[in-house]
Amino acid sequence: MKNYYQILGVQELASEREIKQAHHQLALLLHPDRTPDPAAQARFLDVQEAYEVLGDRHRRLAYDLLRQRARELAANPALRHGPAPQDPPPARVRRRGPGQKELWAAQLRRYVPWARRANWLIVAFCLTLALDWALPLRQWADEVVVGREIVFVSVSRSNPRIAYLITTTHTKFKLREALAERHPLRTGTALAVWQTPIWRVVRRIQPRGIGAFQPYGGGIYGGLAFWPAALLLVAGVGLLPRSPDELRVNAAVVAVLLLVITVFVLVQSV
C-alpha cells in the first residue's frame, strides 16, 4: 500500500489545509509543463493520486483504517490465515455498524490538537487572574466621585437587589446598597481606591475620615472565586500527560463553557 502521507510530505495528523498546501507546492514543482523528466512526471501522478484520497474526508478515513489494519496484520501474521479448522466458529456479536468505533476514534484525534491549545490558553488566563490577585494593589490616593447610578445585581423579581455604580476619576466599582446607606458616596466625595494591576478590579476603597472597606463582596476575587478555580481545575485535567483523547476534548468543551461564566463574572467585577 502506498504511503500517501509520505508522498505529500505531511504528517498523518496533518490538517486539511496542510494537505492542500503540500499538494499545491508539489503540483507546481512537478507539473509536466515545467519539467520533461519522466521520473518527475511519474511522481506528479503519485501526488495527484495521494491528494484524491487525502483531500477527501471520507476517503481519508477509509484509507487510515486500511493502514491501521495493515499494521495489525504485520504485527500478527496469524490474522491473515483466519481460524484453524479445528477451532470452534466465532460467536456472533451484534455491533452498531462496521468500524464505528474506529471511525469515532479517528475523528476524535483530529480535535485533540485544538483541545490542547484551548486548555493551554485557558490555563494561561487563570494564571493572569492569580497573578493579578497576588501582585501589590495600585493605589489612587486622590480620587473624586464623578458619577453615581443605580444598577441591578439580581434578576429575581421576588427579591430584587440593587447597587450603586460609582465612577471616579480613574476607576469604576459597585457599592452595595447597605454600604451606600452607611457611606453615601455622592458626586465630589474624595476617597482613596486600591485596584488590581492587570484586570483593574477595585479591591478596597477609603473615603476621607472612614476606614477602608471592600465595595462589593461578590467579585471575581471574593465570593465568586469558585468559577476561576473550577476553570483552572478542568483545563488542567485536560492537559494531564497520557490522558485519553476523549478526556482531553471533553475537558476543553467544559472549560470553554466555564470560561464564558468566568469572563462574565470578571466583567461584572471590573
Whether 165 is in a domain gets the answer yes
CATH number reported for the structural domain that contains residue 192 in this entry:
2.40.50
Last residue of a domain, one of 207, 224, 240: 207
Amino acid code (one letter) for 115: A
- What's the domain range around 51? 4-78
Whether 181 is in a domain gets the answer yes
Q: What is the pLDDT of residue 199?
A: 92
Whether 64 is in a domain gets the answer yes
In the predicted model, is pLDDT for residue 99 greater than 70?
no
For residue 124 the three cell numbers come to: 494561561
Q: What is the Cα–Cα distance from 22 to 34, expressed in whole angstroms?
A: 18
The percentage of residues in the chain with a pLDDT greater than 90, rounded to a whole number, is: 29
CATH number reported for the structural domain that contains residue 14 in this entry:
1.10.287.110
Residue range 14-59, pLDDT digits in tens: 888 898 998 888 888 888 777 777 888 888 888 888 888 888 888 8
Specify the number of domains making up the chain. Answer: 2
Last residue of a domain, one of 170, 191, 207: 207
Whether 34 is in a domain gets the answer yes
Residue 154 pLDDT class (50, 70, 90 cuts): low
In the predicted model, is pLDDT for residue 244 greater than 70?
yes
**Phi, psi of 87, deg, nearest 5:** -75, 145
Last residue of a domain, one of 180, 207, 234: 207
Q: Is 151 helix (H, G, I), strand (E, B) or coil?
A: strand
Whether 219 is in a domain gets the answer no
Average per-residue pLDDT for the chain? 83
